[in-house]
Amino acid sequence: MAEELSYVIINPYTIYKSRTGGVLARLLTRTSLDLVGAQMFAPSQALVDEYAQNIVTEADPQDRKIQELIRDYVKENLAPDPITGVRERVMMLLFRGENAVRRIRETVGTFKENFLGGLSIRDTYGDMVYNRDGSVRYFEPAVLASPNIAEAKLKLKIWAKYADSDGGLLEKALPTVTDPRHERTLVIIKPDNFKFPNGRPGNILDIFSRTGLAITGIKVHRMTVAEAEDFYGPVRDVLKGVLAEPFGERAKDLLSSALNVPITPEMQAQLGSILGPVAGAAQFNNIVKFMTGRAPTDTKGEARNEPGTEKCIILVYEGIDAVKKIREVLGPTDPAKAPPGSIRREFGSTIMVNAAHASDSADNARREMGIVKIRENNFKSLIESFYQD
């Protein structure tokens, strides 16, 4: 069976209420589809109008009244503020696989009059409250998705059309942007969270949401070897120094035991100075391979700039003291030393396989954003290449 491309739009209110992680976890675990792309949008009036006019169709199995509610919701809640011109934030996720449109739609759910339940995303995070006369008093669909393959194609092409002008790393999206304490920081949800379909990426987002910070950038990324070596470059020399003492001590113990030769402190220090750089280089290579799926020692020439085999999600969080707040909920590098409830304590297993990365300073955040090219996104090209007419 041929693969399909489908989408989910996470609405502004769902993002505002920090429900993004819960939505993502359900999509990953209940569809088993491949998350291939993601992009933040601040929709213009033109994008909202074009998308809204294609919502009410005969092919949608939902009741026409529900379709009209969704259309009106989109026009009211995704459009820029008519007075201030301030744009809303939405997150768009792309999924690929067999029966992708149907699987997404079933997981998202459909609204029915007087229906109560908790199976779908809309059952849990959406609302439709009625007045006593049967009219709808309050309506919140939580997310948006396509009802069929044809509409998925049509609507994805609409969003791709506006991807460059309305999407990407959002600028001046928050009122605190002029505050001197306002920062941007980079987060990477690492490859160990994508070995099989599971809710870990969404659960990690849930914990990050405790910070009250806003996501203003997101993309699905496969690091190249060149990117990984540049990204983790500052760690290389640190590893050489950090590993000198423990490897010198270990060499002393092994030599003393195997050869029955006394090793003086001076000799141990010399062993450490020799073995530390070797161990550091090996550990650095392991980090690069973990992030890319490719051993740098086996990757030469142009292959160093090709996307790796391992997937990660890259996010930009923004707000007051963003760097400190993110690192507090992330926890220290070693999961064994991380406090209960932190991301690395909950989801990490070793110093390298520790669930997520976060910038340790605003300057490093800027450096790291440049390396992973946060302003570049494969969202538009994915849609265009999939629908080559």
Tell which residue, 114, 116, 47, has the closest CA to residue 79: 47
For residue 39, how far is the Cα from the chain centroid?
A: 9
Which amino acid is it at 286?
N
CB 104 within 8 A of CB 93: no
Taking the C-alpha atoms of residue 46 and residue 43, their distance in angstroms, rounded to an integer, is 8
* Full DSSP string of 65-81: HHHHHHHHHHHHHTSPP
How far apart, in whole angstroms, are the C-alpha atoms of residue 135 and residue 305?
Answer: 57
Query: Where do the H-state alpha helices sit in 10-90?
Result: 12-16, 20-31, 45-52, 64-77
- Residue 258, classed as helix, strand or coil, is helix
38/341 Cα distance (integer angstroms): 27
Sheet holding 214-221, edge to edge: 214-221, 312-320, 182-189, 356-358
Please state, in angstroms and rounded to a whole number, the distance separating the CA atoms of residues 2 and 175.
45
Query: What CA–CA distance (Å, rounded) separates 342 from 276?
Result: 31
Residues serving a catalytic function are: 357
The whole-angstrom separation of Cα 148 and Cα 191 is 31
**What gap in Å lies between CA 86 and CA 285, rounded to an integer?**
46
- φ/ψ of 98, rounded to 5, equals -70, 135
DSSP state of 240: H
Q: Are 204 and 189 in contact (CB under 8 A)?
A: yes
